[in-house]
Amino acid sequence: MIETNFTFSEPFAERMRLIRKKVAETGRVFKRNRMGMVGLAILIVFAAMAAFPAQIMWVFSTVGGWDYPYGPHDEVASPGTGTDPSWEHWLGTDSRGNDVLARLIYGARISLMIGTLAAAVSMVLGSMVGLLSGFWGGWRDEVLMRVTDVFLVLPWLVLMIVFVAVLPGGPSVTKIVIVIGITGWAGTARIVRTQVLSIKKRAFVERARSVGAGEFHIIRKHIFPNVFPLIFANAILTVALAILSESALSFLGMGAAATVDVTWGNMLEDALGALAMYNGFYLWVIMPGLCIVFLVLGFTFIGYALDEIFNPKLRKR
Amino acid sequence: MRNFRRILLRRVISLFVTFLLVICINFVLFRMMPGDPLQFMVPSDPKIPDEYKEMLIERYNLDDSMSEQFITYIKGVFTLDFGESFIHKVPAMDYLLDYIPWTLLLVGIASVFMIVIGMLIGILAAWKRGGLFDSGSLAFSLFFYAMPTFWLAMIMVMTFAETWEIFPASRAMGIGEEFEFTLASVKELLSHLVLPVTCLVLVYIATFSLVMRGSLSDVMTEDYITTARSKGLSEKAVLKDHAVPNAMLPMLILIALTVAYIVGGAFMVEYVFEYPGVGWATIDAVNEEDWPVLQAAFFLIAVAVIIANFVSDIVMMYLDPRVELS
């Protein structure tokens, strides 16, 4: 190979090659997993909704011959109890006088965003606690695990409600992300810790230690890469839980403000508030919930598929 | 046996530490709240006399230093005294006590059903693995598992209570009715319980059926199952006497761990059905900013879950002496 100024250093290029190979390999196995592919398909649909809501609404408006593509906060009907579905408003309008379909499609963005960000927060927290606790052992492990226990023991919903109530600031997306993030990390910490405990005993960690590698070097270079697949698969499943948590909080009126950020959870809050179930506006109740169910299913499927790939022991099941 | 006692002691200690941490969190969280607590109790209205505010400061010890407040709080915890509800003007714990039996009733009945049905589904699925029942039940369980509890509750209200009018949609009894031990009253109560219980059972059934299926599938590959089969035992006997008992352990662990989640689900169900349980009272307390009640509810639920965990630990140690401290 001819050395040019632009090539990466040898170890770095080698590492990139290995990572690429691993990703490609995982992709190949993943493609053969039917559950995983269904999950991916579902996710792509919702990702499209989140990325291009205005464009999707434009297509619908052309098909339906509406005056213009409605936005989620446009008052297209007079506020009240809501209206039945019509050619103009396929899913009807809600108590705010907004188009339900528009809110549904725009809602994908915030719901997805809160889900992924909150999962990211809780994964980072959980992995850190799990890695350090498992690696350190001793009294520091004991302390971290007792704290983890507290979060594991307390019902997640109660914990979230209390956090929302006591944290400063009004309802906002950031607050919800933080609340879901700091209440949902305990399970991950437990799983990661168990894995770290078994990896710690392997010979290569001992070897690294014997040549004088520092604590954080061992964690970063030897332990983290080995627990990463587990963390990743777990993160996907956590997103599903975070989406459910968000919808529950929004439903209780403790989530993002419905006038600013549309989520499926606060659409359902509106529906309950306007007693849509009793007034016969069935689609307004059914559709946001179905979106939540399918998005959660999508993430769950992908998570299970990745779990099977990364933990070959499970594959026989 | 000595070993057993040592493990038990360690469990008790670690649970006690957890309990202490919960108490501390409960204190710190509610002191972390932004702003002046008086603001929550008294609307900012100049017409309210200063004497009233002073009385409140006196009653809730707002002028004390943090450490004095903590001591008062700890004393309160051990006498179950969390102060007086801002809204209802009765001790917070007394206020909640009225709601506890209703939640126990709902969660208790639902738990029995979800555990029994979930286990049966899991056993059947694992027994005929890969069959039609297996994949069918898997799809069914996952679908409900992915469902927001409150949404399922709304759908049930819509179909069974509104459209078909089979079951009542809200509260635990008819309007203005009190529960008595008469046939009519019991019937009324049960008809009100049908929808909330079904809702909880459907959502949580997957948790149990999936774990039972996984655990039984594992057991079915063990050598002693092959041995039992080669002895000429019927499939039913193999399943009943050899496989299922050995697959029960993960189930027991799960039951303990799920309690916390079921309580969370029950909150949502109670909210939608306006069922007068602890969950409904808690959510109401948040909306009314009734912090003593919220604090008491938080404490109550945490203690209930800790006790449930402890009981399951002991049961597990009796059933499987191999269980070591993990």
Q: Among partner residues B18, B147, B301, which is closest to A158 by beta-carbon distance?
A: B301
Angle between helices A264-273 and A224-251 (to 10 degrees): 20
Q: Tokens 């008062």 identify what position?
A: B72
Number of inter-chain CB pairs under 8 A, A vs B: 135
pLDDT tens, position by position, B2-18: 677 787 888 888 888 88
Query: DSSP letters of A52-87?
Result: -HHHHHHHHHHHHT-SSPPPTT---S-SSS-B---S
* Of A149, A10, A165, nearest in space to B297 by CA: A165
Contact A114, A107 (CB under 8 A): no
pLDDT of B326 reads: 43
Distance CA B271, CA B157 (A): 12
Average pLDDT of the segment spanning A95-118: 90
pLDDT of A261 reads: 86
Cβ–Cβ below 8 Å for B29 and A161: no
Handedness of CA B89, B92, B93, B96 (dihedral sign): positive
- Per DSSP, helices labelled H in chain B are 2-31, 37-41, 50-59, 66-78, 92-97, 100-127, 132-145, 149-156, 183-220, 223-230, 235-237, 244-273, 278-288, 291-319
pLDDT of A109 reads: 92
pLDDT of A312 reads: 63
Contacts of B199 (CB under 8 A, 6+ apart): B149, B152, B153, B156, B269
Query: DSSP letters of B182-232?
Result: SHHHHHHHHHHHHHHHHHHHHHHHHHHHHHHHHHHHHHHTSHHHHHHHHTT
Distance CA B138, CA B122 (A): 9
Shortest Cα distance, chain B CAs vs residue A3, angstroms: 54
Cβ–Cβ below 8 Å for B268 and A248: yes
Shortest Cα distance, chain B CAs vs residue A43, angstroms: 14
**Cα nearest neighbour of A241 on chain B:** B146
Number of Cβ atoms within 10 Å of the Cβ of B290: 24
User: In terms of pLDDT, which residue wins out, A12 or B202?
Assistant: B202
What Å distances lie between residue A51 and A108, A168, A251, CA to CA?
9, 31, 24
3-class secondary-structure state, position B84: strand
pLDDT for residue A316 is more than 70 = no
Across chain A, mean pLDDT equals: 84
Distance CA B11, CA B318 (A): 14
Beta-bridged to residue A93, according to DSSP, are A83, A99
Count the alpha carbons within 13 Å of A184 in the hemisphere toward its beta carbon.
31
- Report the residue count for chain B: 326
Shortest Cα distance, chain B CAs vs residue A279, angstroms: 9
Q: What confidence tier does A315 reach under pLDDT thresholds 50, 70, 90?
A: very low
pLDDT for residue A144 is more than 80 = yes
Cβ–Cβ below 8 Å for B22 and A154: yes
Shortest Cα distance, chain A CAs vs residue B295, angstroms: 9
pLDDT for residue A3 is more than 50 = no
Q: Going residue by residue through chain B (326 aa), what tens digit of pLDDT does each one get?
A: 567 778 788 888 888 888 888 888 888 877 766 555 566 565 555 666 677 777 777 666 666 677 888 888 888 888 888 878 877 888 888 888 888 888 889 998 999 999 999 999 999 888 888 788 888 888 888 888 889 989 999 998 888 877 777 777 777 777 667 777 777 788 888 888 889 999 999 988 888 888 888 888 888 888 888 888 888 888 888 888 888 888 887 787 777 767 767 877 888 899 888 888 888 998 888 888 788 888 888 888 888 888 888 887 777 777 766 655 44
User: In terms of pLDDT, which residue wins out, A314 or B224?
Assistant: B224
pLDDT for residue A207 is more than 70 = yes
Cβ–Cβ below 8 Å for B155 and A289: yes
For chain A, helix, strand, coil in percent to 5 are 75, 0, 25
- Percent of chain A predicted with pLDDT > 90: 23
Distance CA A248, CA B279 (A): 13
Q: Tokens 């499970």 identify what position?
A: A314
pLDDT of B184 reads: 78
Q: Among partner residues A146, A265, A300, which is closest to B142 by beta-carbon distance?
A: A300
pLDDT tens, position by position, A233-244: 888 888 998 999
pLDDT of A82 reads: 79
- Report the residue count for chain A: 317
Q: Among partner residues B14, B150, B265, which is closest to A146 by beta-carbon distance?
A: B14
Q: Tokens 């009907």 identify what position?
A: A77
User: In terms of pLDDT, which residue wins out, A254 or A155?
Assistant: A254
Number of Cβ atoms within 10 Å of the Cβ of B294: 28
Average pLDDT of the segment spanning A216-237: 84
pLDDT of A29 reads: 80
Cβ–Cβ below 8 Å for B264 and A155: yes
Contact A246, A183 (CB under 8 A): no
Distance CA B68, CA B61 (A): 9
* Of B148, B167, B147, nearest in space to B157 by CA: B167
Token output for B22: 């919960």
**Cα nearest neighbour of A151 on chain B:** B22
Residue B91 sits at φ, ψ, to 5 deg, of: -55, 135
pLDDT of A112 reads: 92
Distance CA A112, CA B130 (A): 33
Q: Among partner residues A150, A168, A169, which is closest to B18 by beta-carbon distance?
A: A150
Number of Cβ atoms within 10 Å of the Cβ of A65: 8
Cβ–Cβ below 8 Å for B148 and A166: no
Contacts of A8 (CB under 8 A, 6+ apart): A16
